[in-house]
Amino acid sequence: MILVFGKTGQVATELQRQGTVTALGRDQADLSDPQACAAIIAGLKPSVVINAAAYTAVDKAEEEEALAQIINAASPGAMAGACTHLDIPFLHVSTDYVFDGTGTQAWQETDPVSPQNAYGRTKLAGEQAVRSTGARHIILRTAWVFSAHGANFVKTMLRLSETRDALRVVEDQIGGPTSAADIAATLLALADHMQDGAKGGTYHYAGTPHTNWAGFARAIFDEAGCDVTVTGIPSSDYPTPATRPLNSRLDCAKLAADFGIKPTDWKAGLAAVLKDLGA
């Protein structure tokens, strides 16, 4: 049995669509109670655990860092510890926000980490907690997740297009938009590899090619047939409580080398999501 923490989030929804998994929502697994999460694993004794749940409200985390720390760090650590006792693999989704967002080179797994906001700090603490248990694990860092489910950039742009014919969108933040469906497929493939004895470790997975938010918005409107003019602006013109990284590029070569899993073109994922939404 593949046990998934998370049920309604973007990646968790796709895991349920693509694989035979047991997914736990908030009513079944309280992520603010680490020991309860560990107890669930001990009781169900799955063959592999995937943690697709997290505190992801980046701006709100600036005010609720203590809660985000429990959900994003303490609970994954407890889950990984329970997996260690059962000698089963643990797969955990992380983020490019563990880096400081400087430079123009794609981040490699071995690059120094230096998160610039509360969300990034709690996700980094989660990575460290998972590693410290000694569990057989994979930490999969990704970025700019989108799907037909939950709250994400694609759905926000489509909603705004209903009442606006012009938008100002940040263009100095660069990254790889990543389909939640592709992340789910990658996690399920990695779960198979881990059950076959793969060593694991930390890996990057994000869509290709790199773009900026304004470019992504234009692609969304072009694909959806929306007549919306997008003007690119600097991040300084759109201040947010949490600092966003300017460089969210992730180097995915290690994942391809170790498992043969290569980044997919986000435009194909976008087309699939828009079809799913009927846009």
Q: Which residues are catalytic?
A: 119
How far apart CA 250 and CA 241 sit, in angstroms, is 24
Q: What's the Rg (C-alpha) of the chain? A: 18
Enumerate residues 6+ apart whose C-beta is below 8 A from 102: 246, 247
- Single out the residue of 229, 256, 243, 265 nearest to residue 120, CA to CA: 243
Enumerate residues 6+ apart whose C-beta is below 8 A from 277: 148, 155, 158
Report the length, in residues, of the chain.
279
Q: What are phi and psi of 203, to 5 degrees?
A: -140, 160
How far apart CA 185 and CA 172 sit, in angstroms, is 30
How far apart CA 25 and CA 276 sit, in angstroms, is 23
